[in-house]
């Protein structure tokens, strides 16, 4: 009997060994696979177990966290959600994150290794430092001015500090409250469905992610290309352009909306927005020269991050001359985001340097100590020579003083601008997009303090009013005034 009891004991020892080996298999070998299984809620529970870091505008948080007392404990809240939604994006427990909430997620959620001096210790102790804060470059007054001026119409505003690339305002309208998407449950899914099915597409960030035909505002790029290429040496010299202008290789006649464009100089063409003159100049610069200039101005760059990603603005690099002529006046396949056109204005204002726009001024730990700063020194390279930029500044000031952009002028500042009214839709049947790009310099300052781009999709009301000057320029004026008043 003794022997058999021993056997039983050995059998039990075998069972114990099997348990231990299996426990090691589950807890060590397969642990990573279980951890990464999407059905494992642990990552989400841990992610929302503590309040998320905040996004700050001028030192004031525009985000917050609310204790939901649910499994995913802290929910995101937004003060002034619709106003800042094009910057913050949403941080949803159901639908993930977008925009800054996405681009700075590691910082805000507390997983950024820069948040602690001892990342190894946190790994070992399975702890996590508190989420850090992202201080944005926005100026509340400028943001508010753009949002108010758009009056809920479909459109967008992007405002930059020309020399640094700091984004002062990024408005998209109509907007939505990202707080509606924060939590979990049917209210959140209903809000998601409603926002996605809304024909006005409130969740579309029109300033960063929608590309519009820039229309006449693109003439600034064409003019820069002509000056840099030496195609135009005297902006005041007549260009011997017929009105209407037959597109090269076709019988199609390109008309003008403005009068007095026949044989106009480039200065007058910018001031009065002559399609014929600028189209012909584009053709004379040639496809390669135009494409190169567009590239220098930031077109065809799919890699721009602010740090949220920005849609690629397009200028075709393979076209027939008639298509090039249309492209040179911002039609055909030429497309740009409002932020991209604000960069074009900023490049002119800054003396030719294309700024690298950015939204996050400083990333700090929860206690306020800085871990990194935003912005790229040297910007994105040179878009044109300084002398070309000076000439264009004069032309744009001319357009505001006694040209098509008069509605952008305001007291106490030198304002340069260019309007645009872009055709779109099948047979150009859609309501035209009203554009304005420009910059403003306080009279007592040596350099322009703000560059802006405004697009309005559905300028309601009288069709004659749907023009850059009528619909977009007043919005730009409000934004630029607010920016100059707020100071550097």
Partner 1 sequence: MLLAGAVAISVLGHLHVGFALTGAPPRGADRYAAGLACAALLAHLAVRFRAPYADPLLLPIAFLLNGLGLVLIQRLDATTPHHLAAADQLRWSGLGVALFVVAAAVLRDHRALQRYAYLAVAAGLVLMLVPVFFPPVNGAHIWIRFAGLSFQPGEFAKILLAVFFAAYLAANRTALALTGRRLFWRLRLLPGRVLGPVLAIWLLSVGMLVLERDLGTSLLFFGLFVIMLFTATGRTGWIAIGLALAALGAYAVGTLEPHVHSRVEDWLHPLASIERGEGPGQLAQSLFAFGAGGLLGAGLGHGQSFLIGFAAKSDFILATAGEELGLAGLTAILLLYGILVHRGFRAGLALRDPFGRLLATGLASIIALQVFGIAGGVTGLIPLTGMAMPFLAQGGSSVVTNWIIVALLVRLSDCARRPLPDEGAEGRG
Distance between CA atoms of residues 319 and 297, nearest Å:
19
Nearest partner of 224 among 105, 114, 350, 322, judged by Cα: 350
Q: Which is nearer to partner 1, 49 or 253 (CB)?
A: 49
Q: How far is the CB of 133 from partner 1 (least distance, A)?
A: 24
**Beta-sheet pairing, 450-456 with 155-160:** antiparallel
Q: Which is nearer to partner 1, 123 or 301 (CB)?
A: 123
Q: Which is nearer to partner 1, 128 or 406 (CB)?
A: 128
Segment interacting with partner 1, rule: CB under 8 A, options 13-21, 204-212, 277-285, 310-318? 13-21
How many residues interact with partner 1 (rule CB under 8 A)? 38
In which residue are the tokens 């800085």 written? Answer: 370
Helix (H, G, I), strand (E, B) or coil at 92: strand
The DSSP call for residue 28 is I
- End-to-end Cα separation, the chain, in angstroms: 95
Q: How many residues does the chain have?
A: 488
Q: How far is the CB of 31 from partner 1 (least distance, A)?
A: 4
- Site map for partner 1, 31-60, x if CB under 8 A? xxxxx-xxxxxx--xx--------------
User: Under rule CB under 8 A, which residues in 288-307 are in contact with partner 1?
Assistant: none
- 251 belongs to the binding site for partner 1 (CB under 8 A): no
Q: Which is nearer to partner 1, 69 or 251 (CB)?
A: 69
- 123 belongs to the binding site for partner 1 (CB under 8 A): no
Largest CA distance in the chain: 119
Give the number of C-alpha atoms closer than 13 A to the C-alpha of residue 89, restricted to the C-beta side: 19
Q: How far is the CB of 126 from partner 1 (least distance, A)?
A: 6
Q: How far is the CB of 13 from partner 1 (least distance, A)?
A: 7
Q: How far is the CB of 24 from partner 1 (least distance, A)?
A: 6
Among 216, 265, 313, 467, the one annotated catalytic: 216
The two tokens of residue 48 are 């929302």
Distance between CA atoms of residues 184 and 361, nearest Å:
32
Give the distance, in angstroms, between the CA of residue 56 and the centroid of all CA atoms in the same chain: 18
216 carries an active-site annotation: yes
- 18 belongs to the binding site for partner 1 (CB under 8 A): yes
Helices and strands (DSSP H and E) totals, the chain: 17, 16
Q: How many other C-beta atoms can be found within 10 angstroms of the C-beta atom of residue 68?
A: 16
Burial (Cβ within 10 Å: 0-12, 13-18, ≥19) of residue 4: exposed
Q: How far is the CB of 193 from partner 1 (least distance, A)?
A: 19
Q: Which is nearer to partner 1, 1 or 411 (CB)?
A: 1
Segment interacting with partner 1, rule: CB under 8 A, options 28-36, 99-107, 132-140, 409-417? 28-36
Query: Known catalytic residues?
Result: 216
Query: Which chain residues interact with partner 1 by CB under 8 A?
Result: 1-9, 11-13, 15-16, 18-20, 22-24, 26-28, 30-35, 37-42, 45-46, 126
């Amino acid at each position: 009997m003794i022997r058999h009891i021993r056997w039983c004991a050995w059998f039990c020892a075998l069972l114990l060994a099997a348990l231990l080996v299996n426990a090691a298999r589950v807890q060590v070998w397969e642990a990573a696979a279980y951890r990464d299984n999407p059905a494992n809620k642990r990552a989400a529970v841990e992610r929302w177990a503590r309040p998320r870091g905040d996004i700050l505008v001028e030192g004031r948080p525009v985000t917050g966290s609310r204790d939901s007392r649910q499994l995913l404990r802290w929910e995101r809240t937004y003060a002034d959600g619709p106003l800042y939604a094009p910057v913050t994006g949403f941080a949803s427990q159901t639908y993930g994150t977008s925009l800054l909430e996405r681009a700075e997620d590691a910082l805000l959620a507390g997983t950024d290794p820069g948040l602690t001096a001892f990342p190894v210790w946190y790994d070992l102790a399975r702890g996590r430092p508190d989420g850090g804060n992202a201080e944005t470059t926005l100026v509340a007054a400028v943001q508010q001015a753009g949002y108010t001026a758009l009056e809920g119409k479909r459109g967008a505003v992007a405002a930059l500090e020309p020399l640094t690339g700091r984004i002062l305002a990024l408005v998209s309208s109509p907007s939505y409250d990202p707080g509606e998407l924060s939590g979990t449950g049917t209210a959140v899914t209903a809000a998601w469905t409603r926002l996605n099915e809304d024909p006005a597409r409130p969740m579309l960030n029109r300033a960063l992610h929608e590309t519009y035909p820039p229309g006449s505002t693109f003439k600034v790029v064409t003019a820069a290309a002509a000056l840099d290429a030496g195609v135009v040496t005297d902006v005041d010299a007549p260009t011997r352009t017929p009105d209407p202008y037959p597109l090269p290789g076709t019988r199609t006649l390109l008309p003008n909306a403005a009068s007095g464009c026949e044989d106009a100089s480039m200065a007058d063409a910018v001031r009065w927005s002559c399609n014929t003159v600028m189209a012909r100049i584009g053709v004379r610069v040639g496809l390669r020269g135009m494409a190169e200039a567009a590239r220098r101005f930031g077109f065809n760059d799919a890699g721009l991050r602010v740090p949220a990603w920005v849609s690629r603005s397009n200028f075709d690099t393979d076209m027939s001359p008639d298509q090039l002529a249309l492209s040179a006046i911002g039609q055909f396949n030429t497309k740009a985001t409002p932020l991209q056109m604000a960069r074009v204005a900023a490049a002119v204002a800054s003396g030719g340097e294309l700024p690298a726009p950015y939204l996050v001024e400083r990333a700090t730990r929860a206690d306020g100590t800085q871990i990194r700063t935003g912005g790229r020194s040297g910007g994105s390279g040179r878009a044109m020579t300084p002398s070309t930029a000076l000439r264009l500044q004069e032309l744009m000031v001319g357009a505001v003083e006694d040209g098509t952009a008069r509605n952008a002028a305001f007291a106490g500042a030198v304002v340069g601008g260019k309007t645009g009214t872009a055709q779109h839709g099948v047979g150009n049947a859609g309501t035209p997009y009203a554009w304005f790009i420009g910059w403003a310099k306080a009279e007592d300052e040596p350099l322009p303090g703000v560059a802006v781009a405004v697009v309005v999709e559905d300028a309601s009301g009288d069709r004659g009013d749907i023009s850059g000057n009528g619909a977009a320029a007043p919005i730009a004026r409000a934004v630029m005034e607010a920016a100059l008043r707020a100071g550097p």
